Amino acid sequence: IAKATSDEDVRQAAEYFASLKPKTWVKVIETATPPKTFIATAGRHRVLHPDGGTEPIGHRILAIPEDPFRTEIRDPHSGFIAYVPPGSIARGEALVKSGAGKTVQCALCHGEALKGQGEVPRLAGQHPLHIARQLFDIRHGSSGGETVEPMKPVVANLSEDDIIAISSYLGSLPPR
């Protein structure tokens, strides 16, 4: 198919895809009392509890679909809301930008705006749960590879609250 595609078609396709703006996939909200949720068996994701109410956030990131039905039918354009502990975004920003007494220096490898560079992936705008899982995996040795190896000593010094804060901050950034 590619061999039969004209240069003009390739140019038009490239212009079209270059014009697309990244959508924010997750909205990060700081709160001490997010909505009460439960794990839906159909979609294996958290949804709002039918009785309503709130629950304490504790030391966690709580993510729910913006539209549970669209998520259940696997709509790839349906986003999420991530509730995080109050102060997480500012604390995460301090850790990411200055290290705040730790050896965190994300911009060295992931670029000044954390949009990635070369084979090092972007961090900005990623889902906070994804970032947290990756950091926990690296810390516990469940994730490897040459791009992960330099992160092991950095992540080893992070507490669970540090990981939640960093993940919250990175998730709150625009994807591009």
| Calpha distance 15→12 (Å, rounded) | 5
CA distances from 103 to 18, 24, 99, 126, 154 (A): 36, 29, 5, 22, 6
Predicted local distance difference test score (pLDDT) of residue 103: 61
pLDDT in tens, 118-174: 888 889 999 999 999 999 998 887 776 666 777 888 888 899 999 999 999 999 999
Backbone angles phi, psi at 113, to 5 degrees: -95, 10
Flag whether the pTM goes above 0.85: no
DSSP result, 97-165:
HH-TTS---HHHHH-TTSS-BTTBPP-TT--HHHHHHHHHHHHTT---STTTGGGHHHHHT--HHHHHH
Q: Give residue 74's pLDDT.
A: 84
Q: What is the separation of C-alpha 92 from the centre of its chain, rounded to a whole number of angstroms?
A: 13
